[in-house]
Structure 1
Amino acid sequence: MIKHDKKLDQAARAAWMYYVAGQTQNEIADALGVSRQVAQRLVALAIDNGLVSVNISHPVGRCMALSAQLAERYGLSLCQVVPSQGMEHAGVNRAVAVAGAEVMAQFLRNEQPLIIGVGSGRSLKAAIDELPELERPQHSCVSLIGAIASDGSCTRYDVPLWLAEKTQGRYFILPAPLFADSEQDRALWCNHRIYRTVNEKASQADVTFIGIGSIGYHCPLHKDGFISEQDVDRLSADNAVAEMLGHFIDGNGNRVASELDQRLTSVNLRQRPEKPVIALAGGQEKRLAIRAALSGHWINGLITDEESAQALLVD
C-alpha cells in the first residue's frame, strides 16, 4: 500500500507538471530522474486512477506534509503547497496561480453575500485569470490599495476590477494614488467621503487576498514607478525585505518606519487578523518576504510552492 501511494504521489506530481505547469515529458523526466517513457506512463497512471479532471484531485503527499508543518509553525488557518520540484520560474508561478484560483473559487461559490478585500500584484492577477466565470453578483470586491502612480498612470495589476468582472459583482475602488505627493495631500485624499466609505467597507471584508512583494530594484513597486531608486536604497538600508499593500516589513516581521508611510493611502494591515487574510506568493525571490509576512503574523493563509515551503521551515 505504501509503495502504491508513493507511485500515485509521483503520478500526481507528473500530472501537475504536465497539465498545470505545461512542461514537456522530457522536462518531467529530467525533474523526476526517470526516463521519458516512465514519465509518460506516470501521466497515464494519473489519468487511469482518476487523478486528472479539471483539477488534480490527488494531492502530492510531500506537499500535504509541508502544508501541515507550515500551518502549525506559523499558526495558519489555511495553507496550500503546490508541487514545484524541477520547475522553472514561470511554471512555479502558474502552479501557485492555479491553486490560488481554486481557493478563491471556494469562497466565491458561497451563496451568501461576501465582501472580498483584494490587494494588487502579478500573482493575484494570474490567479484571477485562472478563475472560471462565477456569476455571483451578490459579492462585493473592494480594493485595498491605490493603483495610481505619481505620473497619473494606473497599474495593470489593479486586480479587484478583474475579479468583479469574473463574478459580475460590485467593485469598489480606493480613490487615491498609492503614495500621495505629501502628508497634507494624503490627508485630502483620505478624508474624502468616498475614500472613507470604501475604507470602511474594506475593514469589513469577509476574506482578503493579497500578494507579498520583495524589496529591490527588480520589485514591482520600483519597476512600475511607485517608488524611486532612492526609496529602494533607504528601505534596504533599514532592512526591509517585504511589502504588502505598500507597508514595508523587515526580516523579523516588524513594520519598517519610512517617510513613505506618511504618504501611503492603502488600508491598514493588522497583525493576527481574525478573518482570513490569504497571501499568494512563491518562487525563490519571494522567500525572505514570505518569511517576514509569516513571522509578523500579518497573514493567516498562504498559497506557495514546495521548495519555498521547505525553505520556510528551516530555522
Structure 2
Amino acid sequence: MSKHDRKLDQAARAAWLYYIAGETQHQIADRLGVSRQVAQRLVAMASEQGLVSVTIAHPVADCMTLAGRLKTRFNLEYCQVVPSSGAGPEGLQQMIAVAGAEVMCQTLKRETPQTIAVGSGRTLRATIEELPLFDRPQHSCVSLIGAIASDGSCTRYDVPLWMAEKTQGRYFILPAPLYADSEQDRALWCNHRIYRTVTEKAAQADVLFVGIGQVAPGCPLNVDGFISDDQVATLEKQQVAAEMLGHFIGEDGQRVSSDLDARLTSVRLTSATSRNVIAFAGGQEKHRAICAVLKGGWISGLVTDEESARFALAEEEQGKTLTRKIC
C-alpha cells in the first residue's frame, strides 16, 4: 500500500468515527493515536477527497481484507466489515447500521416485487432506521418471529413494521408469541390459517434480514421477558453461544435442543443454509455468538465489525489447529 493510500485509509477511519459514530476530534485523536490537529486534518481530508457523501466511499483496507477472509473461510456470498477502532458500543452499532442500510438498499431499490423477511433486535432496528424512504409499494415485508412476550406485551423491536413503513409496502405479521405457553398451545397458534399463510410467504422470501443474539444474563431475550433467568442458566450450561429467531446454537455451530423448542413459533432456520440470509451484528458481547453462527453456516451474508471478524477467524484457525493435533 502506498503512502497516499495509507493516508486515505486513515482518513476513512476518521470519517467513520466522526460522521457515523459521532466521535469528537479529540476522541478520534485518542482512537487513532494522533494529535488533535492531525485528526482534524484527516476529517477535512476525507471531505476534500470525496470520501464522504451520504455514505463513506473509501473502504478501509484492513476491513476489506477481513471481509474477504470471512467470505472465503465461511463460504459467505456477501460480507462487509466496519472499523472498530475502539469505538464505544453505541457508535459501533451506528456504524454497523449505516453499512447494513446500504446492503438493504440493494434489495429495496429494485423495481421488481420483492418479499423481504425480517427478524428482530436492536441492531436490526437501528439498521432499518438508517434507510431512506422508498416508493416501493410492490414489495412485501414478512415477520419471521412473533413479538409477543409471555405477559402479552409486545417488544419495542418489532422491526418488520418499520421496514414496511420505509418501503410503503405490505406488512405480514406472524400472529403468535415467540414461545407458546405449552406444546398444545403452540399447535393452536401454528395451525391457524393466518399463521400458515404468513410462514408460507416467509418460506418464499427473496432475502431474510436477521440479527444474532447472545445468550447470557441480561441478554435481549432475557430482558424483554421471553426467557427467564433460570432458562438462561440452563442454556449456558448447554454451551449455547447464539440465538437466532429463538433457535439456540452451540459454540460448535450446531443447533442445541432445549425444552423451549416444543413451544417455539418462529419461522424455521437451518444450518448450512442455501437461502439468502443476511445478518447484522457486532460488538464484544456478540463475538462468541457471531462465531457460532458462522461455523454452522446459518447465514449467507454478514455485516459486522473488525474485532468480531478477527475473533471469528482466530477461533476458526484455533479449532483447525486443535483438530490437526488430535489427528
TM-score for the superposition, normalised by structure 2: 0.95
Structure 1 residue 246 corresponds to structure 2 residue 212: no
For 1:274, give the aligned amino acid.
S
| Pairwise CA distance, 1:260 | 0.2
What is residue 2 of structure 2 aligned with on the other side? 2
> Which position in structure 1 is the counterpart of 2:186?
186
Q: Does 1:237 align with 2:237?
A: yes
Whether contact under 8 Å (2:210, 2:277) holds in the other structure is: yes
Tell me, in whole angstroms, the C-alpha distance in 2 between the residues paired with 1:276 and 1:3: 39
How far is 1:273 from its partner? 2.5
- State the 1:275 CA deviation: 2.9
Residue 217 (structure 1) aligns with: 217
Select between 59-68 and 304-313 the one with higher mean Cα deviation. 304-313
Q: Which residue of 1 aligns with 2:153?
A: 153
SS of corresponding position for 1:210 = strand
Please give the secondary structure, in 2, of the residue aligned with 1:313.
helix
**CA deviation after TM superposition for structure 1 residue 117, in Å:** 0.6
Shift of 1:135: 1.3
Letter of the 1:309 counterpart? A
How far does the alpha carbon of each residue in 1:42-99 deviate from its partner, in whole angstroms, 9 at most, with x for none? 1111111110111100001110000000110000000000011121111111101111
Segments ≥4 residues shifted beyond 6 Å: none
Cα deviation, 1:175-233, whole Å, max 9, x if unaligned, reads 00000000000000000000000000000010000000000111100000000111111
Could you say which residue in structure 2 is the equivalent of 1:296? 296
Identical aligned residues as a percent: 67
Equivalent residue, structure 2, for 1:259: 259
Q: Deviations over 1:252-302 (max 9, x none)?
A: 001111010000000100223223100000000000000000000000100
Letter paired with 2:311? A
Q: Which whole-Å CA distance do the structure 2 matches of 1:57 and 1:176 have between them? A: 42
- Residue equivalent to 2:138: 138
Q: How many angstroms apart in 1 are the aligned matches of 2:220 and 2:89? A: 16
Structure 1 Cα separation of the partners of residues 261 and 275 of structure 2: 25
Distance 1:234 1:171 in 2: 36
Letter of the 2:41 partner, please give it.
R
- Cα distance in 1 for partners of 2:247, 2:204 equals 20
Deviates more, 1:277-286 or 1:83-92: 83-92
Q: Which residue of 2 aligns with 1:281?
A: 281
Instruction: Name 1:128's counterpart in structure 2.
Output: 128
CA distance in 1, matches of 2:113, 2:260: 35
Equivalence for 1:21: 21
Give 3-state SS (helix, strand or coil) of 1:162's partner: helix
Q: Distance in 2 between matches of 1:145 and 1:154?
A: 12
Matched, 1:272 2:272: yes
- 1:206 — aligned with what? 206
> Alignment partner of 1:6: what SS?
helix
Alignment-mate amino acid for residue 98 of structure 2: V
For residues 285 and 190 of structure 1, the distance between their equivalents in structure 2, rounded to whole angstroms, comes to: 33
Q: AA paired with 1:15?
A: A
Does 2:31 match 1:34?
no
The 2-side partners of 1:75 and 1:93 are apart by 25
SS of the counterpart of 2:127?
A: helix
CA distance in 1 between counterparts of 2:90 and 2:279 reads 18
| Letter of the structure 2 residue corresponding to residue 235 of structure 1 | L
Which residue is equivalent to 2:63? 63
Secondary structure at the counterpart of residue 147 of structure 2: coil
Give the gaps of 5 or more residues in structure 1. Answer: none
SS state at 2:202 partner: helix
Secondary structure of 1:230 counterpart: helix
| 2:312 maps to amino acid | L
Secondary structure of residue in 1 paired with 2:260: helix
* Structure 1 residues 107-151: Cα deviation after superposition (integer angstroms, max 9, x where no partner): 100111001010000010000111111111111000000110011
Deviation at 1:172, TM superposition (A): 0.3
Counterparts of 1:87 and 1:13, CA distance in 2: 11
Cα distance in 2, alignment partners of residues 82 and 271 from structure 1 = 25
Match of 1:161, SS state, is helix
> Counterpart of 2:124 in structure 1: which amino acid?
L
CA distance in 2, matches of 1:233, 1:34: 44
Q: How much does 1:102 deviate?
A: 0.9
